[in-house]
Amino acid sequence: MPEAMAQVGQLQLCYETFGDPAAPPMLLVMGLGTPMIGWPDGFCAALADRGFHVVRYDNRDVGLSTHLREIRPPSIRRLLRRDRTAAAYDLGDMAADGIGLLDALGLPAAHVVGASMGGMIAQLMAARHPDRVASLASVMSNTGHRWRGMPGVRVYPMFLRRPARDRAAAIDSAIETFRLIGSPGFPFDEAELRSIAERSYDRGHDPAGSARQLAAILATGDRGAELRRITVPTVVVHGTKDRMVTPSGARATARLIPGSELVWIEGMGHDLPRDAWPRIVDAIVRNAARAAAPDRSRSAA
């Protein structure tokens, strides 16, 4: 279906759906500074073909959703100091956005899949709103622990880059980023990545919004205590070659969430390479099968 807008509190969230609206809903939550098209169309279609009504959306401050432009972004210095006062909101607020979208769509609950920062948001949705999350898939994410799942040394200079001056430079920067953090064990599909980078730029390039999201991650801190409270079926999916969120983040996540399954994708980095889709989709679907289907008979809270 075409993209649409939903009113969630004071925000407008842009979303798009795939598959049969009568099928069990599955909500996809994307990562830092990345619009919903970071979930490739074909990946969403693959989940829909496995029997889900897939919903992807732009988080606040990215894509076509509301950008909080009236809030000054934090400085690089404050981010490097991990200054929690630099944040205008935290990941809990972003988790509430996802729950608010379910409300707006009349969905009492959904299977929730999050990637990177989206995995952090999805974890908090499951911890704080257990009646709204049927199952959880945390993909290439971590627990917020200061030393586990942190970026590799080669990645840190990427955070210090000045914002690109124009569209061409921004797209080239995105390709350079994926060469650094992408999957060495899979083919590098530059044409596909360039297409996503072009579409992402045209849907709302906003480095200040990304900085506000990064501040939200830092302000939330270690989520370990909340992860221990998660009771829904959970799968943790991670690449063995992830330089952005190193594999220790996945091991820590799986240790903290009771009964979770840890699935390694050999050779995968911090992206969703096409050849890895079958294993990722299988893991998500297998985990969802451990849960009862979301109840559509009652109205949303």
User: Which sequence positions are flagged as catalytic?
Assistant: 116, 242, 270
Residues 6+ apart with CB under 8 A from 273: 182, 183, 186, 187, 189
